[in-house]
């Protein structure tokens, strides 16, 4: 056992905790902020996915905006299996609305995703 590495007096213990407490508090705060930031980003991605689904299923938004939504679906960071289910439903909706070109673009996106 090493000699002299542990505090032996009351003042040394106070000095040790005076250093460790702010450092551990700062580290804990940084971890908490990183976790909450990550959680907020995931919530924003799900919110954006909901908006894109609304754009794809609403035919009155315009075909250009729907194509832009398909392009943005490629970059969204949600579970790919969930995204593949959303794309499958959007393909059916586009075919029902008569937007064959948009359905083809969604099929290309679907080919990039794993099977659900």
In a domain, 16, yes or no: no
In a domain, 42, yes or no: yes
Cα 53 to chain centroid distance, Å, stands at: 16
In a domain, 94, yes or no: yes
In a domain, 1, yes or no: no
Do residues 74 and 109 touch, judged by C-beta distance below 8 A? Answer: yes
Number of domains composing the chain: 1
Going residue by residue through the chain (116 aa), what tens digit of pLDDT does each one get? 456 777 888 888 898 899 999 999 999 999 999 999 999 999 999 999 999 999 888 877 788 998 999 999 988 888 888 899 999 999 998 898 888 999 999 999 999 887 75
Position 48 scores a pLDDT of: 94
In a domain, 2, yes or no: no
Give the DSSP per-residue string, the chain.
--SS-S--SHHHHHHHHHHHHHHHHHHHHHHHHHHHHHHHHHHHHHHHHHHHHHHHH-GGG-HHHHHHHHHHHTT--S-HHHHHHHHHHHHHHHHHHT-HHHHHHHHHHHHHSPP-
In a domain, 40, yes or no: yes
Domain containing residue 97: 29-112
Full-model pTM? 0.72
């Amino acid at each position: 056992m090493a000699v002299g590495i542990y505090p032996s007096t009351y003042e040394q213990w106070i000095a040790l905790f005076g250093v460790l407490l702010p450092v551990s508090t700062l580290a804990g705060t940084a971890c908490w902020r990183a976790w909450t930031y990550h959680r907020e980003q995931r919530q924003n991605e799900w919110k954006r996915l909901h908006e894109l689904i609304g754009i794809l299923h609403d035919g009155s938004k315009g075909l250009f905006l729907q194509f832009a939504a398909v392009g943005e679906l490629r970059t969204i960071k949600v579970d790919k299996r969930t995204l593949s289910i959303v794309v499958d439903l959007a393909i059916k909706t586009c075919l029902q609305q008569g937007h064959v070109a948009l359905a083809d673009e969604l099929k290309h996106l679907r080919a990039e995703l794993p099977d659900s």
